[in-house]
Amino acid sequence: AQSVTQLDSQVPVFEEAPVELRCNYSSSVSVYLFWYVQYPNQGLQLLLKYLSGSTLVKGINGFEAEFNKSQTSFHLRKPSVHISDTAEYFCAVIYSGGSNYKLTFGKGTLLTVNP
Amino acid sequence: KAGVTQTPRYLIKTRGQQVTLSCSPISGHRSVSWYQQTPGQGLQFLFEYFSETQRNKGNFPGRFSGRQFSNSRSEMNVSTLELGDSALYLCASSTSGVSTDTQYFGPGTRLTVL
């Protein structure tokens, strides 16, 4: 079955520290990969996406992610976090082999940035 | 442009009742997808509508249904509510559908079933 695994359910960090949120997906021929952020009482907002081309993808708010096909990973990174980055982060994948596209989400990682 | 709007934002129902949730997509977007978010199961895809036709469906029972109108607004209906249907229901819109298109999410409708 197609799946997405976010290895950490919670990640606490201090302000201005670097952070990496990990995401692995089931092996497949072709995938589209996404990271979304959800602030409290809000919907999801797209941070970045990988469709093809360069494996290093830059997104909004200083986030970036690297697609690693051999390790089937798409980890999210930020070199220096702010208090305002406190939110839940979701990795999502579309397996593009068939004709029906569905967004499959990971269970989410709660990032808490402490002063 | 106005974002995706969902009404109502909060809803309390009792077991056995039915409920209808509404989603108005961003102007010009023809695709609307619905998701259920719960602490236990996370975000799960319900269905996608494009130009008034259901294009894709997740693994939910037939009690969950939806429709899309000619102005692209969409409604989701859940009949015979169960306690486990308590969740945040999110809709997302995009220009041409769930693929490489960016999905824009609404704030959600929080449904509580008592």
Q: Worst-scoring range by mean pLDDT, A16-25, A36-45, B20-29, B80-89?
A: A36-45
B-chain CB neighbours of A51 within 8 Å are: 100
Cβ-defined contact of B102 to A43 (cutoff 8 Å): no
Residues 6+ apart with CB under 8 A from B65: B76, B77, B78, B79
Nearest to A43 among B42, B48, B90 (CB): B90
Cβ-defined contact of A101 to B99 (cutoff 8 Å): yes
Cβ-defined contact of A102 to B100 (cutoff 8 Å): no
CB atoms within 10 A of CB A13: 17
pLDDT at residue A97, rounded to an integer: 65
Dihedral (CA of B35, B38, B43, B44) sign: negative
A-chain CB neighbours of B44 within 8 Å are: 105
pLDDT, one tens digit per residue, over A23-39 is 999 876 788 999 999 99
pLDDT, one tens digit per residue, over B56-105 is 889 999 999 999 999 999 999 999 999 999 999 999 999 887 777 889 99
Nearest to B90 among A44, A104, A108 (CB): A44
Nearest to A102 among B4, B58, B90 (CB): B58
Nearest to A44 among B45, B48, B105 (CB): B105
CA dist A110 and A89 (Å) reads 6
**Nearest chain B CA: its distance from A84 CA (Å):** 19
pLDDT, one tens digit per residue, over A82-102 is 999 999 999 999 887 666 678
Mean pLDDT of chain A: 91
Q: If we measure between CA atoms, which residue out of A67, A42, A65 comes closest to residue A53?
A: A67
Say whether residue A101 is in contact with chain B using an 8 A CB cutoff.
Answer: yes
A-chain CB neighbours of B102 within 8 Å are: 46, 49
Omega before residue A115 within 30° of 0, cis: no
Residue A16 Ramachandran class (φ > 0 left, ψ -120 to 50 alpha, else beta): left
**Nearest chain A CA: its distance from B41 CA (Å):** 7
